Chain A
Amino acid sequence: MDHVLTARTLFGTTMAFHIIFATLGVGIPLMILLAELLYQKTKDNDYALMANRWTKALAILLGVAIPSGTIAGVQLSLLWPGFMEVIGKVMALPFQIEIYAFFVEALFLSIYVYAANRISPTMRIVSLTFVAIGAAASAILITNVHAFEGTPTGFRIENGQIVDVDPWKAFFNPSFAVTATHVVLSAYMTGAFTIASIAAYKMLKNKHNERIQLFHKKALMLGLTVGGVFSLLTAINGHESAQLLHEYQPEKLAAAEGLFETQSHAPLVIGGFTDRETQTVKWGIEIPWLLSFLAGNRFDTVVIGLNDFPEEWWPPLFVHTLFNAMVGIGMFLLLLSLVGFIWHRVKTQQIFPNWFMWTIVTAGPLALLGIEFGWVFACTGRQPWVIYRMMTTAEAVTQSTNLGTLFLLFTSIYVFLLVAVVLVLRSYFRRHPIEQHLATHM
C-alpha cells in the first residue's frame, strides 16, 4: 500500500473505533439525565435504578472513549503534521476550547461516579448536567474542525504563506452550525436507540418475570420516544447538510448521488452502484426531479455533475453507497419509532409481538452503523482534499515511514479493547442482576 493510503487507513481505523464510544459518551448522559429527572418527578424508583445502571455502563465506555480520543488527538499531529500546522495557525480555537469541555466532563464525571453517595441529589443532577454539557460541547467543537475542512474560511494562502488570519471567522465557518447540530442530534438518537435495543433484548429474555418486564418496558418506551424525536430532527437537519454540500462542496454531493451531468430537474437515485465507465448508477431506483428539489427546494435547481470537475478532484464513487446507507438507516429508525409509538397508544397494556421486539433490538447497532457510514462518507467524500481546495491529503501526511507496523499494533489494541469492554460489561451486569436491585427497592 502506498504511504498516504496507509496513513489514511490508520487514521480512519482510529476514528471509526473512537466514534463508537464517543457517540455513546454523548448520547447516554442525556438518557441518564432524563431518567434522573423522571425519577425526581414521578418518584418511581425504577428510573433511579436505570440512571444508576446506565452510569456504570457509561463509566466503562468512557474508559475506552477517553484513551482512544487521546490517540485520535495525538495521531492527528503525528500522522498529519502538515494539516495541523495550518490548523494551529488558523483553527486552534475549537481544539483549545474543547480542552475546557474535556475538563468539565472529566471533573464532574469523577464526582458523579466516585462521590455520588456524599453529595446531595441536587448536586448529582448538576454534576450530570455538566457531564452531558461537556460531552456535547466536545462533540460540537471537534466537529467544527471537521466543518472547517469542508468550508475553510478566515485565512488565505499566498506564496505558501498563511496570511489574513481571522480565527473567529474560521471558527464560525459556513457549515459549523448545521454540521455540529447533525452530529449531536444523531448522537442523542443513537444513545436512545441503544437503550431501547438493550431493553427489548432483556424483555425477550425475561418473558416470565413480569416485574422485570415492567422495568424494561419503561426503559424501552423512554428510548423509543427520545430516539423517535431525535431521528426526526436528524433527518430534517440532514436535509440541510445536503443543501450545504450543494452550495459549498458540489462534487461531494454529485458523488453521493452518482450524478455525472450537470442538470436541472435532476433525479434522486436510491441504491445501486456508481459505474465510472458508463457514467451511470447501475441497479439504482431513480426518482425523477427529487434531487433538484432536495438541493434547492425547487425542481428547476441546477445540480452540478461530476463531469464539470477534473477527474482527479472526484471523490471515490463508492460514497454513494455510504450516503444511501446512512439516510436509509435514518428513515428506517424514524419509521420504527413511529410504529412503536402509535402501537403503544392504540393498544395500551399490550406487549409488542416478538418480531417487532427483535426489530427494535437492531435499532441501536443500526444507529451506530449510521454514524460510521456518515463519517466515512464525510471524510472520504472530501478526498483528495484534507482542507477543501486548499491542501491535499498527500501534502499533509507525515514523512516518517513504517506506518504499516503501527497500523497492525493499533488495530490489535482496538480489537482487544472491544472484546475486553464487552466482557467487562457482561461481567458487571451478571454480578449485579436487576432482580437483586428490584428486590431491595420494592
Chain B
Amino acid sequence: MTDELIAISILWGFIFIYAVMATMDFGAGFWSMVYMNRPQTKATKIANRYLSPTWEVTNVFIVAIVVALVSFFPGATFMLGTILLIPGSIILLLLTVRSAFLVFSHVAPKYEKVLVYISGISGLLIPAFLISVLPITHGSFVETVNGVSQLRLDRLFTSPHEYAFIAFAITSTLFLSSLLLADYSNEANETEAYAIYRRDALIIGPFALLSSILIMITMRSEARWLYDGMIAYWPWLAASVALFLVAGLALFLPSWRKKNGRGMPRLAVVAIVLQYFCASYAYGKAHLPYMIYPDVTIESGFTHPNTFRALFVTYIVGFAILFPGFIYFWRLFMKDRRYVANDEK
C-alpha cells in the first residue's frame, strides 16, 4: 500500500466509526424526544442512559476526523475549507447547542423539556448537514472562477441527489439507533422498551434501504464516474443487501436467551454495522483517487512524507496507550449490568 492509501484508509476508518457512533448518538436524542411523554415506558430513560456518557467521546471523533484530514491531506484543506465554510458553520452551531444542552439537562431538570426538544430536532438536522459533505465532494456543486472555488448552494439544494443523501442520513440515523437501543434495552431486561425499539427498527429499516437505492439512481445521472465505480464493486453492494436481510431475520427469530422472547438484537446490530461497512467500502473505493472531483486527488493533496511518517508513529503509540482506556469505558457503560439496568437506585 502506498502512504496515500494508508492515510486515506485511516481517515476512512475514523469517518466510519464516527458515522456509526454519531448515528446512534443523534438517534438516541431523537428517540428520547419521541418517547418523552410516555413516562410509563422506560424508552426515554434508556436512550438517555446510553447518551449521557458517550457524547463526549463521540465528539472527539469529529475533531479527530478534521485533524486527520488536515494533517494527512493539507493540499485538500484550502479548497475544502473554502467550499465547506457555510455547511461547516451550520453543523458547528447545531452541534454546539446540542452538546451544551445535553450537559445542562443532566444537571438542571428544570430545563429538561426544552433541552430534549433541542437535542431531538438537532439530532435529525445534524446528520442531514453532515452527509451533505459527500455529494459536495462529487464535484458538480463546486464552481471555480478565476481560481476561486465556490459552493453553489442553489444547485446543491435543488438537486435530487442531495435529497437522496439527506433521506439516507435521517433514515439510517433512526434505524441504527433504534436497533442499538433495542439491544441495549434487551440487555437491561426492559421488555417494554425493547418491544418499542424493535418495532421502530422494523418500520424504518426498509426506508433506509429504499433511500440508499435512491442515492444510486440519482448518482447515475449526477455523478456518473462514481456510479460506474460503485457498480464495479457490486459484490460488496450485494453483500450489503444480504446483511440487511440477515438483520431483518434476526429480529424475527425466537430469542435463544429468553423463553417467549422474540428476536436476536445483538446479531441484528452486528449485521447492520457490517452492512454499512460493505456499502461504504464500495463507495469509498469507487471515490478514489478523488477527494474532491475532479480537482483534488489523494496524491495532489498529500502531506509531506516526513510528516506522514512521524504521524503514523504517533497513531500506533497513541492508540496502543488509549486502547485499555476504551475497554475500561466500554465495560463500565455498555456491559456493566448495574449501569445498563440502573439497578443501583
Contacting pair B311 A427 (CB below 8 A): no
Q: How far apart sit A103 and B328, CA to CA, in the bound complex (Å)?
A: 13
> Which residue from chain B places its CB closest to the CB of A165 in the assembled complex?
B304
Contacting pair A77 B81 (CB below 8 A): yes
Contact residue among B73, B326, B339 (Cβ-Cβ distance under 8 Å from A115): B339
Report A400-442 CB contacts with B as 1/0, cut-off 8 Å. 1010001001100100010011001001100100000000000
Contact residue among B66, B82, B314 (Cβ-Cβ distance under 8 Å from A399): B82
Residues on B facing A (Cβ under 8 Å): 52-54, 56-57, 59-60, 62-64, 66-75, 77-86, 88-89, 92-93, 95-97, 99-100, 102-104, 106-108, 110-111, 148-150, 303-304, 306-307, 310-311, 314-315, 318-319, 321-322, 325-326, 328-329, 332-333, 336, 338-339, 344
Given A90-B304, A110-B56, also A97-B107 (CB < 8 A): no
Of listed B62, B86, B148, B307, residue having the most chain A CB within 10 A: B307
Q: Does A85 sit at the interface, judged by CB under 8 A? A: yes
Q: Does A340 sit at the interface, judged by CB under 8 A? A: no
What would 15 A/B residue contacts be, using CB atoms closer than 8 Å?
Answer: A77-B70, A79-B81, A89-B307, A97-B318, A100-B314, A102-B63, A104-B325, A110-B333, A111-B328, A115-B333, A118-B332, A167-B306, A167-B310, A400-B86, A417-B100
**Shortest beta-carbon distance from B135 to chain A in Å:** 19
Closest 7 A/B residue pairs (Cβ): A88-B74, A63-B103, A92-B71, A81-B81, A67-B96, A106-B56, A100-B318
Given A85-B77, A413-B93, also A66-B56 (CB < 8 A): yes
Contact residue among A69, A106, A119, A402 (Cβ-Cβ distance under 8 Å from B57): A106
Contacting pair B60 A106 (CB below 8 A): yes
The stretch of A43-51, A54-62, A191-199 that contacts the partner chain: A54-62
Given A81-B77, A398-B82, also A107-B67 (CB < 8 A): no
**Shortest beta-carbon distance from A291 to chain B in Å:** 40
**Contact residues in B for A332 (Cβ distance below 8 Å):** none
**Contact residues in A for B332 (Cβ distance below 8 Å):** 111, 115, 118-119
Contact residue among B314, B326, B333 (Cβ-Cβ distance under 8 Å from A96): B314
**Contact residues in B for A107 (Cβ distance below 8 Å):** 57, 322, 325-326, 328-329
Q: Does A234 sit at the interface, judged by CB under 8 A? A: no
**Shortest beta-carbon distance from A16 to chain B in Å:** 15
By DSSP majority rule, is chain A's interface helix, strand, loop, or mixed? helix
Q: How far apart sit A413 and B95, CA to CA, in the bound complex (Å)?
A: 11
Q: How far apart sit A412 and B287, CA to CA, in the bound complex (Å)?
A: 38
Contacting pair A63 B73 (CB below 8 A): no
**Contact residues in B for A88 (Cβ distance below 8 Å):** 70-74, 77, 303, 307
Contacting pair A59 B70 (CB below 8 A): no
How many positions in chain A have a CB within 8 Å of any CB in the partner chain? 72
Q: Does A309 sit at the interface, judged by CB under 8 A? A: no
Contacting pair A399 B148 (CB below 8 A): yes
**Contact residues in B for A68 (Cβ distance below 8 Å):** 96
Contacting pair A400 B100 (CB below 8 A): no
Q: How far apart sit A77 and B78, CA to CA, in the bound complex (Å)?
A: 8
**Contact residues in B for A119 (Cβ distance below 8 Å):** 332
A-B contact count (CB 8 A): 222
Q: How far apart sit A378 and B329, CA to CA, in the bound complex (Å)?
A: 39
**Contact residues in A for B107 (Cβ distance below 8 Å):** 56, 59-60, 424, 428
Residues on A facing B (Cβ under 8 Å): 56, 59-60, 62-64, 66-71, 73-75, 77-82, 84-90, 92-93, 95-100, 102-104, 106-111, 113-115, 117-119, 130, 162, 165-168, 398-400, 402, 406, 409-410, 413, 417, 420-421, 424, 427-428, 431
By DSSP majority rule, is chain B's interface helix, strand, loop, or mixed? helix
**Shortest beta-carbon distance from B103 to chain A in Å:** 3
Contact residue among B59, B74, B96, B303 (Cβ-Cβ distance under 8 Å from A413): B96
Contacting pair B318 A99 (CB below 8 A): yes
Given A89-B74, A93-B314, A107-B57, also A400-B150 (CB < 8 A): yes
> Which residue from chain A places its CB closest to the CB of B14 in the assembled complex?
A99
Contact residue among B89, B104, B150, B322 (Cβ-Cβ distance under 8 Å from A100): B322
> Which residue from chain A places its CB closest to the CB of B99 in the assembled complex?
A67
Q: How far apart sit A108 and B250, CA to CA, in the bound complex (Å)?
A: 35
**Contact residues in B for A85 (Cβ distance below 8 Å):** 74-75, 77-78
> Which residue from chain B places its CB closest to the CB of A106 in the assembled complex?
B56
Contacting pair A102 B93 (CB below 8 A): no
> Which residue from chain A places its CB closest to the CB of B107 in the assembled complex?
A428
Given A78-B84, A110-B329, A424-B108, also A117-B60 (CB < 8 A): no
Given A104-B322, A168-B310, A399-B148, also A74-B104 (CB < 8 A): no
Given A87-B74, A89-B74, also A70-B325 (CB < 8 A): no
Contacting pair B71 A95 (CB below 8 A): yes
Contacting pair A60 B103 (CB below 8 A): yes
Contact residue among B93, B303, B328, B329 (Cβ-Cβ distance under 8 Å from A410): B93
Q: How far apart sit A87 and B72, CA to CA, in the bound complex (Å)?
A: 11
Q: How far apart sit A297 and B81, CA to CA, in the bound complex (Å)?
A: 46
Contacting pair B310 A93 (CB below 8 A): yes
Given A97-B314, A100-B318, A103-B322, also A399-B149 (CB < 8 A): yes
Q: How far apart sit A103 and B84, CA to CA, in the bound complex (Å)?
A: 26
**Shortest beta-carbon distance from A167 to chain B in Å:** 4
**Contact residues in A for B62 (Cβ distance below 8 Å):** 70
> Which residue from chain B places its CB closest to the CB of A426 in the assembled complex?
B108
Contact residue among A75, A86, A99, A109 (Cβ-Cβ distance under 8 Å from B56): A109
Q: How far apart sit A109 and B270, CA to CA, in the bound complex (Å)?
A: 28
**Contact residues in A for B338 (Cβ distance below 8 Å):** 118
Of listed A78, A119, A409, residue having the most chain B CB within 10 A: A78
Given A93-B311, A110-B56, also A103-B67 (CB < 8 A): no
**Contact residues in A for B329 (Cβ distance below 8 Å):** 107, 110-111
Contact residue among B57, B66, B319 (Cβ-Cβ distance under 8 Å from A73): B66
Contacting pair A165 B77 (CB below 8 A): no
**Contact residues in B for A80 (Cβ distance below 8 Å):** 81
**Shortest beta-carbon distance from B24 to chain A in Å:** 15
Q: How far apart sit A316 and B315, CA to CA, in the bound complex (Å)?
A: 41
Q: How far apart sit A269 and B315, CA to CA, in the bound complex (Å)?
A: 49
Contact residue among B73, B78, B95 (Cβ-Cβ distance under 8 Å from A67): B95
Given A92-B311, A111-B329, also A409-B93 (CB < 8 A): yes
**Shortest beta-carbon distance from A59 to chain B in Å:** 6
**Shortest beta-carbon distance from B54 to chain A in Å:** 8
Q: How far apart sit A117 and B325, CA to CA, in the bound complex (Å)?
A: 19
Contacting pair B311 A70 (CB below 8 A): no
Contacting pair B75 A166 (CB below 8 A): no
Contacting pair B100 A67 (CB below 8 A): yes
> Which residue from chain A places its CB closest to the CB of B105 in the assembled complex?
A424
Q: How far apart sit A69 and B93, CA to CA, in the bound complex (Å)?
A: 12
Contacting pair A409 B63 (CB below 8 A): no
Q: How far apart sit A402 and B85, CA to CA, in the bound complex (Å)?
A: 10
Given contacts A107-B57, A424-B108, could you give 17 more A-B pairs where the C-beta distance is less than 8 Å? A66-B59, A67-B59, A70-B92, A71-B96, A74-B88, A77-B70, A81-B77, A82-B78, A92-B70, A103-B57, A108-B325, A114-B339, A166-B306, A400-B83, A402-B86, A410-B93, A424-B111
Q: How far apart sit A56 and B73, CA to CA, in the bound complex (Å)?
A: 40
